Amino acid sequence: MEKDNIFKLNDVCYDYIGKDRALNNINMTIERGECVSVLGANGSGKSTLLKLLDGLYFCSKGELFGFNEKIDESIMADKQTARAFHKKVGFVFQDPDVQLFLPTVWDEVAFAPLQMGLPRRDVAEIASDALDQLGLFGLKDRAPYHLSEGEKKKVSIASVLTLDPDVWLMDEPTASLDPRSQGWVIDFILELGQRKKTAVIATHDLEIPYVATKDCYVLGQDHGVLAHGPSSEILENDEILLSANLIHRHRHIHRGAAHSHPHKHWHS
Ligand X SMILES: Nc1ncnc2c1ncn2[C@@H]1O[C@H](COP(=O)(O)OP(=O)(O)O)[C@@H](O)[C@H]1O
Single-letter amino acid code for the residue at 214: K
CA distance 169 to 50: 7
Half-sphere exposure of 87 (CA within 13 A, CB side): 12
With binding defined as CB under 6 A, does residue 19 bind ligand X?
yes
Q: Which region among 39-47, 61-69, 97-105, 214-222 touches Mg ion (by CB under 5 A)?
A: 39-47
With binding defined as CB under 6 A, does residue 101 bind ligand X?
no
With binding defined as CB under 6 A, does residue 222 bind ligand X?
no
**Alpha helices, DSSP H only, in the chain?**
46-53, 73-77, 79-88, 96-99, 105-115, 120-133, 149-161, 179-194, 207-211, 231-236, 238-243
Minimum Å distance from CB 236 to Mg ion?
25
Of 24, 44, 156, 162, the one binding ligand X (CB under 6 A) is 44
The counts of H helices and E strands in the chain are: 11, 12
Q: Which region among 1-9, 40-48, 203-211, 259-267 touches Mg ion (by CB under 5 A)?
A: 40-48
Of 6, 9, 12, 22, the one binding ligand X (CB under 6 A) is 22
With binding defined as CB under 5 A, does residue 174 bind Mg ion?
no
Q: Are 25 and 11 in contact (CB under 8 A)?
A: yes
With binding defined as CB under 5 A, does residue 159 bind Mg ion?
no
Minimum Å distance from CB 46 to Mg ion?
5
With binding defined as CB under 5 A, does residue 37 bind Mg ion?
no
With binding defined as CB under 6 A, does residue 113 bind ligand X?
no
Of 43, 103, 135, 229, the one binding ligand X (CB under 6 A) is 43
Determine which helix (DSSP H) or strand (DSSP E) holds 23, and give its type and residue range.
strand 21-31
**Phi/psi at 86 (5° precision):** -75, -10
Residue closer to ligand X by CB (options 47, 181) is: 47
Q: List, in order, residues 6 or more apart from 223 with CB less than 8 Å away.
A: 21, 22, 23, 24, 44, 45
With binding defined as CB under 6 A, does residue 99 bind ligand X?
no
Residue ranges in contact with Mg ion by CB under 5 A: 46-47
Residues contributing to the site for ligand X (CB under 6 A): 16, 19, 22, 40, 42-48
